Amino acid sequence: MGAPYSQDLRLRVLAALDEGLSKTSAHKTFKVSRSTIDDWLRLREETGKVEAKTAYYRGCPPVLGDTLAVRDFIEAHRHSTLTQMVQRWQQEQGATLSTMAFSRALKRLGYSRKKRAISTWSAH
């Protein structure tokens, strides 16, 4: 799915149609498909405007939402490894959760994960 057409183009196409330009001529002039023009006309008829939809989510919804309970859990166990966090989540919440799902939730909420239980020494 590509980016939506600009609001300006949508308004220009519909204004040209309102002034008497045929759909076929508008299609050729503005390089917009006939079905898209029909969709815009239908949208304007139903809602009164032709703004592009912007608040939609692509893909599956996240397993862990951005709730206060999730953030509190992460803060309480922030020194644990990812595997330990998943195990504690399952113990406390009683819900089975994969390590990858928990990793994606951490990343989406802006947390980095701890990769090892102990730190390694680095010479400077």
Tokens of 31: 């390089």
pTM: 0.48
Residue range 35-79, pLDDT digits in tens: 999 999 999 999 998 988 777 667 777 778 767 888 888 888 888
In the chain, where the domains are located? 7-47, 68-108
Residue 116, pLDDT score: 63
Confidence grade of residue 121 (pLDDT, cut at 50, 70, 90) = low
DSSP 67: -
